[in-house]
Each structure stands twice: as structure tokens, then as C-alpha cells.
Amino acid sequence: MTTFDDRERSYETKFAHDADLRFKAEARRNRLLGEWAAALLGKTGDEARTYALTVVTSDFEEPGEDDVFRKISGDLAGKADEATIRAKMAELRAEARRQVADEG
């Protein structure tokens, strides 16, 4: 193997690792967002956990986070406005990244 091949393999490994971390952080953000929304909806215990899971799975509808936003926005109509939801999504994205990085 040449140095170039080793470097290429190293970059590919790092890319795969970074993609895995991004996926985990987004899923964690969605779960945290679902828990936050569940609390606003008055859900607790298993009902809150189940709701949070529906938020996580809503992210598989299309690329990006608009599908998650639509889910939360529709469920929280009258309880939280768009700016509040977007701000919470950004806040929890940072928190999820910290949590995933601490676990790694």
C-alpha cells in the first residue's frame, strides 16, 4: 500500500464516522424535541416516550428537518409558534451533539 492509499482509507473512515455521529445527533435531537413537545402537550411516562418516538420516525419522511418541524408544528398548534419551535430545534441540536460527543 502506498501512503496515498492509506490516506484515502483514513479519509473514508473519518467520513463514515462523522456521518454516523451526525445521524446519532439528529436522532437524539428529535427525541429530545419530542420529549419537550410531549411535556407541552401534557404527556408523561410511556405516553411521552411513545410520542417522542413518533417525532424521531417523522424524520424519515424526507431529507432535512422540515418533516420534523411540520410534525411538531402541527401537534403544538396554539401551544408554540414557529419561532419557538425553530429555536428549540437549534438549542436541542447543540445539546444532542454535546451528548453524542461525550458518549463517543
The parent domain of residue 28 ranges over 3-103
Phi-psi region of 42 (alpha: psi -120 to 50; beta: other; left: phi over 0): left
CATH code for the domain of 63: 1.10.790.20
Instruction: Count how many domains the chain has.
Output: 1
Instruction: Specify the pTM.
Output: 0.84
What's the Rg (C-alpha) of the chain?
17
- pLDDT mean over 39-52: 96
| Predicted confidence (pLDDT) at residue 1 exceeds the cutoff of 80 | no
SS3 content of the chain, % helix, strand, coil (to 5): 80, 0, 20
Average pLDDT in the 46-52 region? 97
Q: How many C-alpha atoms does 67 have within 13 Å on its Cβ side?
A: 13
Q: What is the mean pLDDT of residues 41-45?
A: 96
